[in-house]
Amino acid sequence: MTAKKMIVIGGGPGGYVAAIRGAQLGASVTVIESNKIGGTCLNDGCIPTKALYKSASLYHAMTETAQFGIHVDGFRLDMAGVQGHKQQVVGTLVDGVAALLKANRIDVISGKAHLMSNRQVAVSTPEGETTVLSADGIVIATGSEPMMPPIEGIDLEGVVTSEQILKFDFVPKKLTIIGGGVIGMEFAGIFNAFGSEVTVVEFADQILGQLDAEIVKRYAVQAKKQGIAIHKQTKAKQIRKLENQALVCTCEGKKGDFDIESDQILVSVGRIPRIRALNLDEAEIKYSLKGIEVTEHFETNQAGIYAIGDCNGKTMLAHAASHQAIEAVDHFMGVSHEHSATPIPSCVFVNPEIASVGLTEEALKESGIAYLKSKFMFGANGKALTMGEGEGILKVLSDKDGVLLGVHIMGPHASDLIHEATLALHQALDVNAIKGMIHAHPTLSEAFHEAVLGLKGEAIHLAPLKK
């Protein structure tokens, strides 16, 4: 029996996972990548920003060692070292992905892909050659790119995207960030820790708009204490450059127009699917400004052609792309399994970290769902206090029967703690299923246990609610 041929367009966390899964199931797989294996996540997104986040966190921690009885003098920020660490991490992971593709006997072609009819793909190589490939199935995994709003002066030197700012070789004295979403706030925290005077301009009435409002409100207080200025319900109207090369962003706020002067401006208002160069019209694939239209198995309107990850606009997270890759390839290869909604955790690497899974309290109210709520403060957690990180909260939401519906964390290692909650939601666990599980002491995970027990008024380290 001849192996099915599969083409994957894009070698990011969706594309390379799709390719490896296809190879595992016996397909003959070719990956087409126009830039670097690993995609935006490994090269220009989540991995390099987390490397910078670690450097920033350590640098900030050096200023607070006295509380642990350690006095350090003369430490300094070495930008070449910071960038070197970032590139070493990125290089290691990219090489690892390339090795995995090779080990799975997956062909990798460097070039730009253009979809044609009849499941054909034209590949334009850097050398100027064009090759047409045919396949039984095609997986589109082209990711996304930064959105650039129509602001006058946005093309001025010193105005950068989230991908461009990663290559910085100096810390701007003043940094303005247009956009208070996840990417914007992560960079705000990084540069604030490095010593920049950071100002965030957010059009909506809340930064981190997809998160639970109570968590965001508490984080905003911490951000202000750290020196990050946040202007909500504010529109960036114009950018201009002064004779001294400083950039001025004119903004429209609730009380009228005002100017923000800075050395550099980061534009981080979101990302859009990278699909313009795919030639979707010729392939008769349906799409909109939000992305390529897909079924529950991530198949487009053309049988055998799938779209996963950011390019379908459903959930712009690397781990969502990887999960969609498995679903799509399994469907293409005839591996059947029951399709069900899977809770997707999200993490924001600020200080303190934020992580969330499931429904927010606002979503429950809007849906009219009766719910229970419990909160546990990290200030009452022994491990958090020994770490000097007592600021934070763990919030649990459940239905009236105690089945967990949402968990929202702001605190130390929130990005690690969220996965016990994700498993609980994935398995539709209730309070009784969780309360009998012993959590080691002293650990941060005890905060989740206590918050869950609090749903039924059984938490030991929470004062009883006043009746």
pLDDT of residue 336: 84
**91 and 185 co-located in one domain:** no
**128 and 210 co-located in one domain:** no
CATH of the domain at 180: 3.50.50.60
- DSSP one-letter string for 166-220: GG-SS--SEEEEE--SHHHHHHHHHHHHHT-EEEEE-SSSSSSTTS-HHHHHHHH
Residue 104 neighbours by CB under 8 Å, 6+ apart: 19, 20, 23, 24, 29
Contact yes or no for 344/430 (Cβ under 8 A): no
Please list the active-site residues. 441
The structural domain count of the chain equals 3
Task: Please report whether residue 429 resides in a domain.
Answer: yes
Task: Give the burial class of 443: count Cβ atoms within 10 A of its Cβ; 0-12 exposed, 13-18 middle, 19 or more buried.
Answer: middle
Task: Please report whether residue 377 resides in a domain.
Answer: yes
**133 and 61 co-located in one domain:** yes
CATH of the domain at 416: 3.30.390.30
Give this prediction's pTM.
0.95
Q: How far apart are CA 21 and CA 26, in angstroms?
A: 9
pLDDT of residue 467: 60
pLDDT of residue 462: 86
**97 and 204 co-located in one domain:** no
Task: Please report whether residue 467 resides in a domain.
Answer: no
- Retrieve residue 92's tokens: 């290691």
**85 and 201 co-located in one domain:** no
Q: How far apart are CA 177 and CA 231, in angstroms?
A: 10
Q: E strands, 92-148, where?
A: 107-110, 112-116, 120-124, 130-134, 137-140, 144-146
**139 and 277 co-located in one domain:** yes
Q: Give the torsion through C-alpha atoms of 330, 334, 335, 336, to 10 deg.
A: 110
Task: Please report whether residue 31 resides in a domain.
Answer: yes
- Last residue of some domain: 229, 253, 269? 269
Contact yes or no for 283/304 (Cβ under 8 A): no
**286 and 257 co-located in one domain:** no
Task: Please report whether residue 340 resides in a domain.
Answer: no
Q: What are the Cα distances from residue 306, in Å, to 123, 171, 200, 275?
A: 18, 42, 38, 13
- Last residue of some domain: 332, 361, 382? 332
pLDDT of residue 128: 87
Task: Please report whether residue 73 resides in a domain.
Answer: yes
pLDDT of residue 459: 92
Q: Running along the chain, 467 residues long, what does each successive block of 10 average in pLDDT?
A: 90 98 98 94 94 95 93 92 96 97 97 92 92 96 96 96 93 97 98 97 96 98 97 97 94 96 97 96 95 97 97 96 97 85 95 98 97 97 96 97 97 98 96 95 97 94 77
Q: How far apart are CA 265 and CA 26, in angstroms?
A: 48
- Last residue of some domain: 249, 269, 289? 269
Task: Please report whether residue 466 resides in a domain.
Answer: no
Domain carrying residue 398: 352-454
**89 and 34 co-located in one domain:** yes
Task: Please report whether residue 10 resides in a domain.
Answer: yes
**96 and 187 co-located in one domain:** no
**26 and 118 co-located in one domain:** yes
**127 and 245 co-located in one domain:** no
**229 and 322 co-located in one domain:** no
Contact yes or no for 353/444 (Cβ under 8 A): no
